[in-house]
């Protein structure tokens, strides 16, 4: 019983620890094996505010909450020569002429602790690619070629 209480106490104290941001994983369902990225950004949302002016009252405006806007999820990784399923899906969506519906995917971004145990995860719902770009090609630098993929999405939730 003492061991269980000690484990629970350790777990409770770990909930208050600051989390490192460099141990993370990205799973694009159903392409979980093809989702190794070196950087993820765009997990951001902001509520719009609508200002309403009341008739006869000129000193201030009412600020009312509006809809929530989400930034694009930006994924960066080194380029490898492959016909991987995730890359094929991105190309199919971006090269489509809208004759077929855009296929959306769910993305799971998972943060891990130093023991590689998941500590937090964000489920990005209804994602689809809206931009794909490559880093600059420079003969003067010995750098890896990096691809950047931007995904628009409906919303995300902390899971």
Question: Counting every residue, how long is the chain?
Answer: 159
pLDDT of residue 6: 66
pLDDT of residue 116: 87
Contact, 84 vs 34, CB < 8 A? yes
pLDDT of residue 68: 95
At 33, is the secondary structure helix, strand, or coil?
A: helix
Longest dimension (CA), the chain: 69
pLDDT along the chain (159 residues), means of 10: 63 66 86 80 96 82 94 93 80 87 93 89 96 93 93 96
- For 68, phi then psi, to 5°, come to -95, 130
Of the candidates 95, 100, 152, 96, the residue with the CA atom closest to the CA atom of residue 128: 152
Instruction: Give the Cα separation of 15 and 29 in Å (integer).
Output: 28
User: The pTM is what?
Assistant: 0.81
pLDDT of residue 77: 92
pLDDT of residue 64: 95
Sign of CA dihedral 117, 122, 128, 129: negative
Concatenate the DSSP letters of all residues of 123-151 into one string.
EEEEEEEEEEEEPPP-TT-----EEEEEE
Tokens of residue 9, six digits:
């106490």
- Virtual torsion, Cα 78, 84, 86, 90, nearest 10 deg: 90
pLDDT of residue 60: 84
pLDDT of residue 115: 86
């Amino acid at each position: 019983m003492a061991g269980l209480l000690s484990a629970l106490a350790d777990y409770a104290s770990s909930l208050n620890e600051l989390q490192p941001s460099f141990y993370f994983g990205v799973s694009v369902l159903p392409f979980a094996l093809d989702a190794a990225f070196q950087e993820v950004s765009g997990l951001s949302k902001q509520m719009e505010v609508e200002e309403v002016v009341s008739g006869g009252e000129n000193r201030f405006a009412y600020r009312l909450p509006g809809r929530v806007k989400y930034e694009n999820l930006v994924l960066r990784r080194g380029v490898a020569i492959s016909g991987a399923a995730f890359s094929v899906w991105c190309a199919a969506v971006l090269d489509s002429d809208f004759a077929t519906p855009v296929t959306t995917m769910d993305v799971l971004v998972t943060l891990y602790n130093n023991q590689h145990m998941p500590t937090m995860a964000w489920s990005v719902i209804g994602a689809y690619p809206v931009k794909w770009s490559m880093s600059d090609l420079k003969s003067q630098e010995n750098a890896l070629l990096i691809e950047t993929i931007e995904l628009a999405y409906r919303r995300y939730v902390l899971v």
